[in-house]
Amino acid sequence: MPNWDALVAAASAARELAHAPYSDYLVGAAFELSDGTIVAGCNVENRILGLTVCAERNAIANAIVSGRRDFVALAVVTVSTPPAAPCGMCRETLAEFVDDLPILLANTQGERTEVRFGDLLPHRFVLPKG
């Protein structure tokens, strides 16, 4: 069972650090790794709007640059009701590293919904072996 309370706390703290002056929509994400380590990320927007990077992808990059890719759970915190799920680009990025994963969608009002990554991205693209 993931430490959801710790993950939501870490994602909420990361969310407060988001750089989102264009949308005013702050997102925090936090992964639990296999030894309980938590790695977080926030969204970082850019005046060239297409250069914006989501919280989930920044959390993945944070883990990768720490030499870690043993993801076991993810929490995402937004202000949305119902709590928002990762976007398609983040789902594809996650698919690079995980087969399945429990994901907690949470919001700042305390709502929580648990989903599975396999349900968010079924029938994933698999690169044929050359």
**Stretch of 49-57, 93-101, 103-111, 117-125 contacting ligand THU, by CB under 6 A:** 49-57
Contact criterion met (CB below 8 Å) for 108 and 25: no
Q: Does 56 participate in catalysis according to the annotation?
A: yes
| Residue-wise DSSP of 62-122 | HHHHTT---EEEEEEEES-SSPPPPPHHHHHHHHTT-S--EEEEEETTS-EEEEEHHHHS-
User: What's the maximum distance between 2 C-alpha atoms anywhere in the chain?
Assistant: 49
Q: Which of 16, 32, 45, 56 is catalytic?
A: 56
Nearest-approach distance from CB 106 to ligand THU, in angstroms: 13
Binding mask 91-130 for ligand THU (x = CB under 6 A): ----------------------------------------
Residue closer to ligand THU, measured from CB, 2 or 86:
86
Select the residue interacting with ligand THU from 31, 45, 94, 121 (CB under 6 A): 45
Contact criterion met (CB below 8 Å) for 124 and 95: yes
Q: Could you give the residue numbers annotated as active site?
A: 56
